[in-house]
Structure formats: structure tokens, C-alpha cells
Amino acid sequence: MRERLMLIICSFYGMIVMSQNQIQYLNGVVENDATGFPMESVHVLNLNLVEGTTTDKKGKFEIRAQVNDTLYFSYLGYKSIKIAVTQDMIKFGNSNFKITQLAYALEEIILRPYQLTGYLDIDVKNVPINSAGRYRIPGIPNAGYEGGNRNPGAINKTFAAIFNPVDFLHNLFGNKGVQMQKLKKMRENDGLKDLLASKFDREIITQLLNIDRIDLDEILRNCNYSDTFIKESNDLQILEAISGCYEEYRVLQF
């Protein structure tokens, strides 16, 4: 009798564990808060599982999620929001999420076209170029580094880091191991990579790393990327830059 009772308890416990490990999906609709119309192509990211998707023409989406996961909604020109997943959201589905359009004050823009003379030798000299020096350090697997024109001592700082590499990079990544693992997952997800290639706001990266935009820019500068690169690159390029710098840190550390 006791053996039968233990068998029933074990079976019941196994069913609970299996149900907890089952993949759960959350279905929802994203709408414009002002008009109530569905929003197409809104980026929806699960910050815990590092998985993302976009809404369809009817504003609908489906994403893998568990209770207490955080969903991040992002769309250009709209205020991004974070929502904690509840059991009711997963159980009943078709949850409505509303995002609000941002109001921008447009500033006057003055266009200054290049004054071309028609003479190639003269016009080439007048075209502005990126003055950031780019160099390569033997032994480190990277195509090169940008010294940048913001800090004249960037190159000297980098070579100083080679002599004391662990201390230099540990300040950047030493306490962000978990977040950097999330970035690694993003690099392995083709859907997220396509999403980041179209974004320039750094919002998803800063959310995953749990840092401010200013801190993100400073990390890139300390990894010897120029202000031009930081300003003009898309989020996928920024992801690759930070990931590459982190991999160098791990190599130098061990």
C-alpha cells in the first residue's frame, strides 16, 4: 500500500514538473492608445528569455513567456513600455496593450550642401571624412579599432590596457556577465538580429544590459570606437561591437 501511495505521489509530482516545463505562449494585441486602432510592426521582446517578435496587420502577436517575465514594447515615435507577465495573460490570452505616441518639438534644420567646383582634385579635398584613426592589435581577433577624434589619447589608452588588460576591461564587464549572456543569445537569433538592424535607438540593448544610454556610449568609447561609429551605427552593429569587446575581455581574463 505504501509503495502504491509513493508511486502515485511521484507520478503526480512528475506531472507538475512536466507542466511547469511546458512551453507557454502569450497572445495579445497592441493598439494605439489615442485611436484604439491596432498597431502593425510593433517590436515585442521578452527581456528574460531574450526572444522577440513583431505585431501583424491586426496588431496581434504571439511570444513565448512565463509568469513574471517582462515584455518590452517598442515602436518608433511611441513611448516604450514594459509589462510584467501574469498568469491570467497566459491563461486567457488576447490581452490588449496600448502604446502612446510621443510629441516632438521640431527644430529648424539648415542644409549646407557641398560647394562643388567640378574639378575632382579640389572637390575631393573639400569632402569631409571620418578622421577617426583605425588600427589593429596583433594577437586579438578583431578587424580593427577606431581611436576616435574625441579623445586624442585613445590609442595610448588601448595599448596601456594591453599591459594591464584585466583591470581595464573588468571595470566595463566584470559585473555584467549575465547581461552579456543575453546579448550572446540575441546574436544567435536571426529574427532579433533583423529587428536590431532596423533600429537606431539603443533601447533594447540598454534594457537587456540594464544600463543608461550614456553608460552604453561610454563603454563603446572605452572599447575604442569613435563618436561617429557610436552615433551612426544601427543597433545590430552596436551589439556586435560590444559583444566583440566582451569576448576580448574574456580571452584576456583567462
Q: Which amino acid type is present at position 83?
A: I
Residue 22: its pLDDT value, please? 63
Residue 135: its pLDDT value, please? 47
**Measured between alpha carbons, how far is 112 from 191 in angstroms, rounded to an integer?**
39
pLDDT in tens, the chain (254 residues): 555 555 555 555 554 444 444 679 999 999 999 999 999 999 999 999 888 899 999 999 999 999 999 999 999 889 999 999 999 999 888 899 999 998 765 555 555 555 666 666 666 666 655 555 544 444 444 445 454 444 444 544 444 444 444 555 566 676 666 777 777 777 787 878 888 888 888 888 888 888 888 888 888 888 888 889 999 999 989 988 888 888 877 776 66
- CB 42: neighbour CB atoms within 10 A? 24
Q: Which domains does the chain have, with CATH numbers?
A: 2-99 (2.60.40.1120), 133-253 (no CATH)
Residue 116: its pLDDT value, please? 63
Q: Largest Cα–Cα distance of the chain, in whole Å?
A: 100
**Measured between alpha carbons, how far is 76 from 60 in angstroms, rounded to an integer?**
18
- Give the bridge partners for 70, in sequence order: 84
Q: Are 95 and 114 in contact (CB under 8 A)?
A: no
Question: In this structure, what C-alpha cell is assigned to residue 59?
Answer: 496588431
**Measured between alpha carbons, how far is 222 from 242 in angstroms, rounded to an integer?**
10
Question: In this structure, what C-alpha cell is assigned to residue 14?
Answer: 512528475
Residue 190: its pLDDT value, please? 80
Measure Cα distances from 247 to 42, 170, 177, 208, 241 in Å. 31, 12, 11, 17, 10
